[in-house]
Amino acid sequence: MISAPQGTQSGTKTRILNAAEKFFGEKGFDGTSLRDITTEAQVNLAAVNYHFQSKETLMDAVIERRIAPVNQRRMEMLDAAGPSPTVEQVVEAFVSPLFVMDVLPAVPLIGRVLSNPSQFFERVYKKHLIQVVLRFSDAIAASLPGLPREERFWRLHFMAGSMTHVLALSGVLPLMSGQPVQRGAVLRQLVTFLSAGLRAPVLSPFSEDKK
C-alpha cells in the first residue's frame, strides 16, 4: 500500500484536514457538517469516513496535527531558558509558539477548543495539556519562588485565558481595534501584560505552607 507522505502535499486527507480546521474554527464542531467540509475540500462525502473513521476522530486528527508541534516548541523554549528562567521567558515560551506562521490557520480552532468545556477539551487536556501545565507550573515556581501553589494555579489559568481569548477572537478583535494589527506587536503586549500579572504581590497572608 505504501501510504503517501501526507506532510505538505495536497492529497485528499490533507485537504479534508484543512477544510475541517477552517470550519471547525469558524462555526464549531456541531455547527459544521461533513458536507460543508467535503464541499470546501472538493472531495467525496464518503472520503471522511474512509480516511478518518468518524466526524469525531476527524476533529481529533485536526487538533493533533497542530497542537503537538506547539507543545514541543514550548518545551524547547523552556529548556533553553535553563533552570532559573525569568518570568518573561516563561510567558514567552507559553504564548509565542501559537503566534508563528504555520499554526495560524488553526488559531481560531485552538482558541475555541480551549475556551469551551466539551468532549474535545477534556481529551486535549488529558492527552496534550496536562504535562504542559505541570511543566509550566514548575517553571513559574522557579521564576517566582515566593508565590504560593494555589495562586500559581490560578495565575497560570488567567494567563491561559488571556491567550485563548486572543486566539479565539483573532478573527474579530482586529476589526474592533480600528487599525491594522501586527501579530508581533500583540504578542509583545501580551507578554508584558501577563508577566506583570504573574508578578503581582502575593495575596494570601498565610502563604507558603503547601510543599
Partner DNA sequence: GTACGATTGAAACGAACGTATGATCTCTGC
Partner DNA sequence: GCAGAGATCATACGTTCGTTTCAATCGTAC
- Neighbour tally for 209: CB within 10 Å: 8
Q: Coil, strand or helix: which one is 84?
A: coil
104 binds, among a second copy, DNA, none (CB under 5 to 8 A by kind): none
Give yes or no for residue 172 binding DNA (CB under 7 A): no
Contacts with 95 (C-beta within 8 Å, 6 or more apart), sequence order = 159, 163, 187, 190, 191, 194
Q: Which residue has the cell 497560570?
A: 156
Residues of this chain, 9-28, that bind DNA according to CB under 7 A? 11-12
Q: Tell me the number of residues near DNA by CB under 7 A.
A: 24
Instruction: Please select the residue that binds DNA; options are 9, 50, 104, 193, rule is CB under 7 A.
Output: 50
Locus of grid cell 529548556: 79
Residues near a second copy (CB under 8 A): 26-31, 108, 111-112, 115-118, 121-122, 150-151, 153-155, 157-166, 168-169, 171-173, 176-177, 179, 186, 188-190, 192-201, 203
CB 178 to a second copy: min, Å:
8
At its nearest, how many Å lie between a second copy and the CB of residue 97? 18
Cell matching residue 176: 474592533
CB of 182 to a second copy, least distance (A): 10
Sequence-ordered list of residues with C-beta below 8 angstroms from that of 10, at least 6 positions apart, any chain: none
Query: Which amino acid is located at 9 in the chain?
Result: Q
What's the rounded Cα separation, in Å, for the pair 9 and 11?
Answer: 6
CB of 139 to a second copy, least distance (A): 17
Which residues of the shown chain bind DNA in the complex (CB under 7 A)? 1-4, 11-12, 32-36, 43-51, 53-56
